[in-house]
Amino acid sequence: MILKQFKKVFYFSFMLQQLNKEVLLKRREALEQVIKRRFIYQPAFSLYGGVAGLYDYGPVGCAIKTNIEQYWREHFIIEEDLFEIAATILTPEPVLKASGHVDRFTDLLVCDSKTGTGYRADKIVTETLENRIAKEGDKLAADVKARYLAVIKDVDTFKEDKMKEVIAELQIKAPETGNDLTDPTPFNLMLPTIIGPSTKLPAFLRPETAQGMFLNFARLLEQNGGRVPFGAAQIGLGFRNEIAPRGGLLRCREFQMAEIEYFVDPTEKSTFKKFNKYINLEIPLLSRQLQAEAKQHQPFKMGDAVKEGIINNETLAYFICRTYLYLVEIGINPVNIRFRQHQADEMAHYSSDCWDAEIEMSSGWVECVGLADRSAYDLNAHSEATGQKLQAARKFKVPQPRQVLQVTLDKQKIGKELKKDGMALIKYVEALPDDEKQELSDYFQNHEDKVFNIDGKDLTLNRQLVKFEQKTMNVMEEKFIPHVIEPAFGIGRILQAIIEHSFNQRDDPQKTFFKFSPRVAPVKCSILSVVQSEEFDNVIFELTSSLKKLGISCKTDNAGVALGKKYARTDEIGIPFAITVDKETLTAQSVTLREIETTKQVRVPIAEVPRLILELSAGLILWTDVLTKYPLFAAKEEEA
Amino acid sequence: MILKQFKKVFYFSFMLQQLNKEVLLKRREALEQVIKRRFIYQPAFSLYGGVAGLYDYGPVGCAIKTNIEQYWREHFIIEEDLFEIAATILTPEPVLKASGHVDRFTDLLVCDSKTGTGYRADKIVTETLENRIAKEGDKLAADVKARYLAVIKDVDTFKEDKMKEVIAELQIKAPETGNDLTDPTPFNLMLPTIIGPSTKLPAFLRPETAQGMFLNFARLLEQNGGRVPFGAAQIGLGFRNEIAPRGGLLRCREFQMAEIEYFVDPTEKSTFKKFNKYINLEIPLLSRQLQAEAKQHQPFKMGDAVKEGIINNETLAYFICRTYLYLVEIGINPVNIRFRQHQADEMAHYSSDCWDAEIEMSSGWVECVGLADRSAYDLNAHSEATGQKLQAARKFKVPQPRQVLQVTLDKQKIGKELKKDGMALIKYVEALPDDEKQELSDYFQNHEDKVFNIDGKDLTLNRQLVKFEQKTMNVMEEKFIPHVIEPAFGIGRILQAIIEHSFNQRDDPQKTFFKFSPRVAPVKCSILSVVQSEEFDNVIFELTSSLKKLGISCKTDNAGVALGKKYARTDEIGIPFAITVDKETLTAQSVTLREIETTKQVRVPIAEVPRLILELSAGLILWTDVLTKYPLFAAKEEEA
């Protein structure tokens, strides 16, 4: 049972039930109001009319984002000893040409033939057909409806020609005007810029943070003493010039990502030692086969999923486990998470297996993390583009027999002919890496001479002076191009999921609150006075100072409004713990501590408060621990 | 005395002496090697030949950067209750038109008239003249030399015409070719892009994070209950298309910033309550007057600096104090920091007083933080561009007499003429804000009728039907545009300063180490074995796990190399504490703990280690506290 295994991380009772789409949809309107009123996030540049697909995070959203990222560092970077780097957003064109983005990172664009308004082709086809089905209902002929549904299912895989055909066949028009649409053309989703006043270097804003890690592979390998496996990680912005940004934070033009590139020896990726501790972890999987059978996701023991060949290898499976645990720990409901395997035709060209962590939200299941086995695609691509080898070496404890192409040079003749330079030529050719020896052998199949430029001199080698032989030799190491397992997190989408899953209403639906995991909560505690009074000022100041000294964010409120109203204000932005200063504080040096979901309160000595909040916020202790240690305080919550 | 006041934060003895430029320069070469070998940061896109002004941070640099930012959050955001936001980098053109960047954010560019290579005009003039002075030495006529020095001093303030004149007069040519230079033209330093496929919205990458905070002013004011003062903060990237990037991290095209916009009532900015605790803090200031007298910076008590009018107001002075303390706490030598006041002609057009925190590095004094009083410039600019008022209200406890423009309408005549609509017109005009009443009054000076569009209807008001009168009235509040105090931190420059100030060599200059403040250190501790042995594996694993659980980064090394070599490896990247597992660990459950600068060791029970490292890293205890608590361990450090 999925839920049982998470007893320890359940801060809140609500997690014991699945949040289905209907529940989330019902709350959505009230949530939108809070998001706006408390500036969790809002459209950017509203003063100037706004720009689609750009959002600013306000104080609450920004703090949650920072906390999600900070815990990502602890959970992944520190735990897995990853190398975190910060590469640049500005990326020169040749890099993205090599990675395939210049040619293939496109969506099909169609425009209104008269007004020029642009639409994403697959979206406009889907929406038009869905509208027709909804509008005409039973009047629609069964075969027509079936055709529509078939197109909707596959439209996102259509290439230009196929898309053009379908648009003509089904008479898809511009929705606002009814005008004809232009022919679908690939629109590159990267934002272009130009670097430098005179070089005028064409460049793009990176569409993913991954490339920066591939380009630094050799430097990082060196930091790891030449050993594989190791992982690189990066938290930063990506940019996509979306044709039709939508869904708030779900599809933005500028978005925060957290990516890992875990480099492994391809011969070793099926066994990953640390995976052992997770073989009994149950995770809801929607495998390729379940999708083919039109079935729902099912919980699998991860050990079994690998054994049965559902997940390609242990390394990939390990990161699925770690991702699942991360999402649950930051407050996503575990039963609203599933891992969906990509269909063979859905995967990126470089990918050999790919799973998306999808989270159920008010808009349905949303891809929030992609976990792909990118094989050796990227390192290969940059090696080819630059001529620089991006390889690691497999070192053997005992010599291993390997087929090796041996080069034998006629040293005497070469020495005679080239004198001193002869030795340089011999040394150079003998030291060529295996693949270049092979190239040279191939070259001599139909060339007589090969000219090498060595230390600035052109030296010629005739094919008569060199012999190539395949031999079995014992070697101590061999070179290989590592494969890459890539977990890529969309921070904005995860934040939206946390907000939706944490949002709740009390009996009075106007009284809303967020049940954030304390780790993620934007502000850890509030310090309130039971009534406004100057005699509390000093206590509040001292307590605030000692909390701040520990780096704990807190919000004070000594205003002249009812305590209930103060609670409501802090509940609305999800401050998990409220400290209240009252008459007894002045005599007994104690305060009350209230938890947001249960609204239960305990009485705690002031001196113990900062440490308590610190441990609660770091997840070192739970509220239930606090309840067993301190006496309950029975106060009626005052009405606002 | 500057140093005495920092006794508590001195982690290291080296801070007791000033690091002059010569010392820093001498170490520079060895430092460069470490920066490269340990991938602290390196030029980006080296595989592709590199791009000037773009750098990637490797694991060590990235971790220091993260720690600097995290402590910035604690020191400023949490301590001052600032609203942190995350606004977008993509910024539509009209926003930057209003802020003045489209027109004024330029450098003068000159090009080689034949090759087209571009140069920053002020730099090429300076370099050419400095070369001539150095080359010709005493042969240079005194008046010529004086002329050169005068130009060098002021060249960065020259406008196009003046620059053109000087280039002609002094015969400045392209340095590589000797070709003529093209006329100086302003080159805009913003990187351009285009958003959207059909809207094709011209946009730029933000040159500073500040504008995002101004645009969200109204939302943040609302979160603060309409009260001023409050501060916004943002940590993120800025972009400048530098003509001549140089100096490594000092002048990049993409750079991390941390900015605060502190909004204050202009009538209140000269008194700032929290400033009181700093009136006796001594900070080295290089005031406008000291510069005019060609004097060095001098320590000033901050209270006196405000009283004597050297610093414009207490709010600005408060942030100078906080900035100084921040820099010292993260490991900048306090005697290598000075605050330099801008000359009147050097300040940005919007600024009323401006101080730069400059840090002495191997390249001289470098501006690392700018503290400007931006007055109401930006909020005004965006108000004017959008027609939306960006104001706050000053509320009075007792009514205050104010000059108010009173409007009296001839209600009877208007009612007769416009019937029902008359009431709407009257209501509308009476509710106009003060400045629009003034505009209306001005308008009627030379117009007969004014047409208002009210609820979709055009309603005309004749000037005969309205009277304007200046009256003294008692009001409970008045509107105003807040002023802004802006501390803006360049994270890359600060990181470079920390690295330079922390770098050191032992008696053997090959043995280098960084004496980072533990707060900033990239990795908090290493766990080493005295010799390689499987019997240590379990202890190391357990210790590592318990450190990671507290979120502490650590590096393990159980390799078969001498302990001295292991220490050298961790010293080189500045890991402040090394835990060593030895024979005694297995019997007595204790390890040794070594501090990087002194290389002194103590023996500590394993169970106490994680907590000790946590408290040392957070700056809650110092190494000297550890020395008094645990017995010294006298081990000779083994040679590598």
**Which neighbouring-strand residues pair with B336?**
none
> B308-354, pLDDT tens digit by residue?
999 999 999 999 999 999 999 999 999 899 999 998 777 776 677 89
Helices assigned H by DSSP within B6-88: 21-37, 59-72
Residues 240..259 of A with a Cβ closer than 8 Å to B: which? Answer: 241, 243, 253-254, 256
Overall number of domains in chain A: 4
**Which neighbouring-strand residues pair with B201?**
B195
Residues 570..629 of B with a Cβ closer than 8 Å to A: which? Answer: 618
pLDDT bracket for residue A405 (50, 70, 90): confident
Largest CA distance in chain B: 105
The residue of chain A nearest to residue B113, with distances taken between CA atoms, is A198
Q: Do A462 and A321 sit in the same domain of this protein?
A: no
Neighbours of B226 (CB within 10 A): 11
Q: Length of chain A, please?
A: 640
d(CA B172, CA B183): 12
Q: Which residue has the tokens 């730029």?
A: B204
Cis before A299? omega within 30 = no
The conformation of residue A308, written as its DSSP 8-state character, comes to T
Question: Do the Cβ atoms of A341 and A293 come closer than 8 Å?
Answer: no
Neighbours of B459 (CB within 10 A): 19
Strand order in the sheet with A118-120: A118-120, A106-111, A185-188
User: Which bin fits A337, alpha (ψ -120 to 50), beta or left (φ > 0)?
Assistant: beta
> The domain spanning residue B38 has which CATH number?
3.30.930.10
Q: Do B307 and B166 sit in the same domain of this protein?
A: no
CB contact under 8 A, A193 and B205: yes
Give Cβ neighbours of residue B41 (< 8 Å, ≥ 6 apart): B35, B55, B56, B57, B58, B61, B248, B249
State whether residue B555 sits within 8 Å of chain A by CB.
yes
- Establish if B392 belongs to a structural domain: no
Question: Do the Cβ atoms of A205 and A68 come closer than 8 Å?
Answer: no
Cβ-in-10-Å burial (0-12, 13-18, 19+) of A290 comes to middle
**Which neighbouring-strand residues pair with A577?**
A525, A595
Q: Do A64 and A197 sit in the same domain of this protein?
A: yes
A241–chain B nearest CA distance, Å: 6
pLDDT bracket for residue A5 (50, 70, 90): confident
pLDDT at B3: 66
Q: Which residue has the tokens 């289905």?
A: A20
pLDDT at A246: 83
Q: Do A169 and A309 sit in the same domain of this protein?
A: no
State which amino acid sits at residue B241.
N
Give Cβ neighbours of residue B446 (< 8 Å, ≥ 6 apart): none
State whether residue B381 sits within 8 Å of chain A by CB.
no
Q: Do B302 and B440 sit in the same domain of this protein?
A: no
CB contact under 8 A, B39 and A223: yes
State which amino acid sits at residue A608.
E
Distance (Å) of CA B616 to CA B68, B171, B552, B577: 16, 60, 11, 9
Chain A residue numbers with beta carbons less than 8 Å from the beta carbon of B70 are 70
Q: Do A184 and A207 sit in the same domain of this protein?
A: no
Distance (Å) of CA A79 to CA A73, B425, B555, B569: 8, 68, 11, 21
CA A405 to chain centre: 43
Q: Do A365 and A276 sit in the same domain of this protein?
A: yes
Distance (Å) of CA A343 to CA A368, B84, B416: 17, 42, 76
Return the number of CB contacts < 8 Å for A and B: 212
> A504-524, pLDDT tens digit by residue?
999 998 999 999 999 999 999
Long-range contact pairs involving B414-419 (C-beta distance under 8 Å, separation at least 24): B414/B461, B414/B465, B418/B459
Chain A residue numbers with beta carbons less than 8 Å from the beta carbon of B61 are 86
Question: Do the Cβ atoms of A524 and A617 come closer than 8 Å?
Answer: yes
Question: Do the Cβ atoms of B162 and B122 come closer than 8 Å?
Answer: no
Which of A116, A223, A253 lies at the smallest CB-CB distance from B198?
Answer: A116
State which amino acid sits at residue A18.
Q
d(CA B90, CA B207): 10
pLDDT at A640: 38
B52–chain A nearest CA distance, Å: 9
Cβ-in-10-Å burial (0-12, 13-18, 19+) of A141 comes to exposed
What average pLDDT does the structure give for chain A?
Answer: 92
pLDDT at B17: 62
Q: Please list the helix, strand and coil fractions of chain A in percent, rounded to the nearest 5, in that order.
A: 40, 30, 30
Give Cβ neighbours of residue B482 (< 8 Å, ≥ 6 apart): B217, B228, B229, B263, B264, B265, B266, B376, B379, B391, B392
A83–chain B nearest CA distance, Å: 5
The conformation of residue A562, written as its DSSP 8-state character, comes to -
B219–chain A nearest CA distance, Å: 7
> What number of CA atoms fall less than 13 Å from residue B144's CA on the CB side?
13
The residue of chain A nearest to residue B195, with distances taken between CA atoms, is A241
Q: Do B453 and B591 sit in the same domain of this protein?
A: no
Residues 418..477 of B with a Cβ closer than 8 Å to A: which? Answer: none
CA A316 to chain centre: 15
CB contact under 8 A, B196 and A87: no
Chain A residue numbers with beta carbons less than 8 Å from the beta carbon of B241 are 195-197
Tokens of B292: 């005019």
pLDDT bracket for residue A639 (50, 70, 90): very low
- Among the listed residues B336, B265, B353, B320, the one whose alpha carbon sits nearest the alpha carbon of residue B487: B320
Neighbours of A583 (CB within 10 A): 12
Q: What 3-state class would DSSP assign to B501?
A: helix
Q: Do B408 and B373 sit in the same domain of this protein?
A: no
- Establish if A268 belongs to a structural domain: yes
The residue of chain A nearest to residue B252, with distances taken between CA atoms, is A88
Cα-flanking dihedrals φ and ψ of residue B202, to 5°?
-70, 135
d(CA B204, CA B94): 10
pLDDT at B620: 84
Question: Do the Cβ atoms of A351 and A363 come closer than 8 Å?
Answer: no
pLDDT at A226: 94
Tokens of B532: 């390689």
- Establish if B124 belongs to a structural domain: yes
Question: Do the Cβ atoms of A15 and A328 come closer than 8 Å?
Answer: no
Give, for A466, the enclosing helix (H) or strand (E). Answer: strand A466-480
DSSP string, A567-613: HHHHHHTT--EEEEE-HHHHHH-EEEEEETTT--EEEEEGGGHHHHH
- Establish if B120 belongs to a structural domain: yes
Q: Do A196 and A62 sit in the same domain of this protein?
A: yes
- Establish if A507 belongs to a structural domain: no
> A561-591, pLDDT tens digit by residue?
899 999 999 999 999 999 999 999 999 999 9
Averaged pLDDT for residues A419-425: 87
d(CA A98, CA A101): 8
Segments of chain B scoring below 70 in pLDDT: 1-4, 6-18, 349-350, 635-640
Chain B residue numbers with beta carbons less than 8 Å from the beta carbon of A59 are 83-85, 220, 223
Residues 303..332 of A with a Cβ closer than 8 Å to B: which? Answer: none
* CA-derived radius of gyration, chain A: 31
CB contact under 8 A, B223 and A59: yes
CB contact under 8 A, A195 and B241: yes
State whether residue A83 sits within 8 Å of chain B by CB.
yes
CB contact under 8 A, B385 and A201: no
Which of B61, B87, B205 lies at the smallest CB-CB distance from A56?
Answer: B87
Distance (Å) of CA B601 to CA A131, A352, B12, B615, B626: 75, 51, 16, 17, 10
State which amino acid sits at residue B156.
D
Terminal CA-CA length for chain A: 42
d(CA A613, CA A525): 8
- Establish if B225 belongs to a structural domain: yes
State whether residue B524 sits within 8 Å of chain A by CB.
no
CB contact under 8 A, A215 and B86: no
CB contact under 8 A, B198 and A56: no
Which of B45, B194, B239 lies at the smallest CB-CB distance from A215?
Answer: B45
CB contact under 8 A, A117 and B198: yes
Neighbours of B330 (CB within 10 A): 22
State which amino acid sits at residue A193.
T
> A365-374, pLDDT tens digit by residue?
999 999 999 9
Which of A55, A109, A555 lies at the smallest CB-CB distance from B197?
Answer: A109
d(CA A546, CA A35): 31
State whether residue A73 sits within 8 Å of chain B by CB.
yes
Q: Which of B107, B177, B219, B523 to substitute to test the interface with A, most A CBs within 10 Å?
A: B219
Averaged pLDDT for residues A46-66: 97
CB contact under 8 A, A51 and B551: no
Judge whether residue A6 has pLDDT over 90. Answer: no
Question: Do the Cβ atoms of A369 and A357 come closer than 8 Å?
Answer: yes
Terminal CA-CA length for chain B: 42
- Establish if B283 belongs to a structural domain: yes
Judge whether residue A10 has pLDDT over 90. Answer: no
> The domain spanning residue A611 has which CATH number?
3.40.50.800
Find the domain containing A195 and state its range.
4-99+191-378
Where is the domain boundary, A446, A480, A514? A480
- Among the listed residues B312, B215, B328, B218, the one whose alpha carbon sits nearest the alpha carbon of residue B272: B312
* HEC-encoded secondary structure of B190-214: CCEEEECCCCCEEEEECCCCHHHHH
> The domain spanning residue B161 has which CATH number?
3.30.40.230
Tokens of A185: 């053309």
- Establish if A547 belongs to a structural domain: yes
Q: Do B251 and B356 sit in the same domain of this protein?
A: yes
CB contact under 8 A, B86 and A95: no
Q: Do A431 and A570 sit in the same domain of this protein?
A: no
Neighbours of A159 (CB within 10 A): 10
Which of A62, A220, A243 lies at the smallest CB-CB distance from B85?
Answer: A62
**Which neighbouring-strand residues pair with B239?**
B254
State whether residue A196 sits within 8 Å of chain B by CB.
yes
Q: Which of A49-63, A389-403, B400-414 has the highest mean pLDDT?
A: A49-63
> A315-351, pLDDT tens digit by residue?
999 999 999 999 999 999 998 999 999 987 777 766 7
Question: Do the Cβ atoms of A466 and A407 come closer than 8 Å?
Answer: yes
